[in-house]
Amino acid sequence: MLRTHTCNELREQNITQRVTLCGWISAVRDHGGVTFIDLRDYYGITQVVLHGIEPPPRESTIQVRGEVKARDPDAVNDKLETGRVELHADTLAVLGAAKNALPFEIADSEKVREDIRLKYRFLDLRNPVMRDRITLRSEVIAYLRKQMEKLEFVEIHTPILTASSPEGARDYIVPSRRHSGKFYALPQAPQQFKQLLMVAGFDKYFQIAPCFRDEDARQDRLPGEFYQLDLEMAFAEQSDVFAVAETVLAGLFKHFTNKPVSEFRLIPYADAMLSYGTDKPDLRNPLIIRDLTEFFAGTNFSAFKGKPVRGIAAPTAGRSRTFFDDMLKFATDTVGMKGLGYLTLSGGELKGPIVKFLSPDKQAELLNLFDLKDGETVFFICDRLPDCNRFAGQIRAALGERLDLIDRNRYEFCFIVDFPMFERDEESGRWDFTHNPFSMPQGEPTADVLAYQYDIVCNGYEITSGAVRNHDPEIMKKVFAVAGYGEDDLKLKFGALYTAFSYGAPPHAGMAAGIERLIMLIADDENIRDVVAFPLNGNAQDPLTGAPSELAEQQLREVHIKLR
């Protein structure tokens, strides 16, 4: 054995024992003839004392043998689990030498530019903070798998090489060597396969599924690939999926955090867009958006009259004029609004740029609408729909942040339900699917029908998306016809599913939860790449391996590709 103990294992009961440790040299302190080393491995740190032995450079991998002794009373370090003992080494072997110059300090790797961190990710992951995040990922996935098995879901792996289908994002395509001019696609999700499993007679399916989408990165979205807890249930309705989601997800957050976890509120999509300006509301923010369209219809203020108007009341007592100027600048320069009106109740009187346009009766009505208190301000957002709602949501979020109104010590969950089935594309003018094209409509398939589609949102992040599936070929034909697809398109692009539904498909429903977003929330981290061992950067490149890379001409010939 290369070691008898790990670097977090030695305690006072090990004093006088001869042991062997292996690890990386985290720190070196030379005290003139006596050298102290912090030896680090995956499990922790042990202090090693060297007498007359010259250590190799920091971050070298070494093996040390010697006797465990108690630390001097004034040298005890209770911040370490091994802080009451030290290893006095009489032999040191270098297992892997490191260069003298490191690209960055391991302990400070989180402060280093991301491109450097990703290029030397193997060093970045030596940072105990990063190590703990990746370990947390393993523990979260193990917990999810255990809970799904308890609920009698069967884990089934679906194909990685499949056919391209129009599911929203761009596919990653893989050329076929054996079939010239044809391509596989990496799955954006196991959507069709899990529905086929329901037709095949499996009652409850789940998978920790890899998904591949050629889309741009965001703060909460990885480019390229990600994982999701994917599940589907036969003979199930929306409420059945919700019950599983609450059991598994609420249990997950309670198991891994000490923060309070809310009940799962049910919010229709239309209400979310009006009250929060987004279908991903952060319910820790107490601010609510109100519809003031009718209120301003009864005024002579031409800038707002006859147009959609939203209002947000916020506590601004003690805020200087600079705060309001900064909010205006944010609204115009960042959000893209034409302006940001506001009125403040001060000393029992409304004050602000537009107060002159409101009669005393309208002022009293406004105070009553918002139950306005002294020191509170109503901000006004006016624009065409849907921009008005979206702008109001961004102002609400900014006010919540800048006024420090968000309670970051809890998790607030909600189901967003009743999504529109279709939306009109502004450029082409045609109707397109807003969510999943395989969802069941809540009535006759027309352009304005709602769908049995739902998201789960936590603290402003969409963590789960799902739907009751459309399992009826006749309804499917009508739904796709609204989006301009004929039956021939269905057979060509979704042939397996369309055919399977003609052989006795059960009603079924499911969802998929993003693993990385769940871990990011549990770890209280704002960078989703921190919870992935080897992620692509924001430009979908891997500085470590050089992916994507060029191929040799022979490789291209084998898959019948010529670059142009």
Do 86 and 53 belong to one domain?
yes
My answer on whether 386 and 476 are in the same domain is: no
pTM of the model: 0.93
| Residues 363, 334 share a domain | yes
Residue 304 near residue 311 (C-beta atoms within 8 A): no
Percent of the chain topping pLDDT 90: 88
Cα distances (angstroms) measured from residue 498 to each of 167, 434, 469, 472: 15, 21, 13, 9
Q: Is residue 106 included in any domain, yes or no?
A: no
Residue 550, domain member (yes or no): no
Same domain? 376 vs 299: yes
Same domain flag for 258 and 142: yes
What is the reported pLDDT for 302? 87
Residue 164 — very low, low, confident or very high, per pLDDT cuts 50/70/90?
A: confident
Pairing of strands 309-315, 376-382: antiparallel
* Assigned domain for 346 exists: yes
Rounded Cα gap, residues 205 and 30, in angstroms? 59
Q: Judge whether residue 540 has pLDDT over 90.
A: yes
CATH code assigned at 198:
3.30.930.10
**Domain CATH number, residue 57:** 2.40.50.140
Residue matched to tokens 């990653």: 172
Is residue 192, in this structure, part of any structural domain at all?
yes
Question: Is 248 part of a structural domain of the chain?
Answer: yes
Note the pLDDT tens digit of each residue in 379-438. 999 999 999 999 999 999 999 999 999 999 999 999 999 999 999 887 888 898 888 888
Domain endpoint, select from 402, 437, 459: 402
Q: Phi/psi class of residue 115: alpha, beta or left (left: φ > 0; alpha: ψ in -120 to 50)?
A: alpha
| Residues 397, 418 within the same domain | no
Burial class (CB in 10 A: 0-12, 13-18, 19+), 503: exposed
What's the mean per-residue pLDDT of the chain?
95
DSSP code, position 330: I
Rg for the chain (alpha carbons), in Å?
30
pLDDT score recorded for residue 166: 66
Say whether both 134 and 260 belong to one domain.
yes
Would you tell me how many other CB atoms lie within 10 Å of the CB of residue 162? 18
What is the C-alpha to C-alpha distance for residues 447 and 434, in angstroms, rounded to an integer?
11
As for how many domains the chain has, the answer is: 3
Asked whether residue 33 is domain-assigned, the answer is yes
The residues facing 495 across adjacent strands are none
What's 347's domain CATH number?
A: 3.30.1360.30
Measured in whole angstroms, the distance separating CA 331 from the mean position of its chain's CA atoms is 26
Instruction: Of 160-169, 207-216, 446-455, give the lowest mean pLDDT range.
Output: 160-169
pLDDT above 80 (res 219): no
Tokens 């370090």: give the residue: 77
Q: What is the pLDDT of residues 448-499, one digit of tens each?
A: 999 999 999 999 999 999 999 999 999 999 999 999 889 998 888 888 999 9
Which residue range(s) make up the domain with 241?
130-265+413-532
Which three-class secondary structure string do you get for 390-447? HHHHHHHHHHHHHCCCCCCCCECEEEEECCECEEECCCCCCEEECCCCCECECCCCCC
Last residue of a domain, one of 96, 122, 156: 96
Among 96, 120, 145, give the residue marking a domain's end: 96
Residue 210 and residue 243 share a domain = yes
* 139 and 260 part of one domain: yes
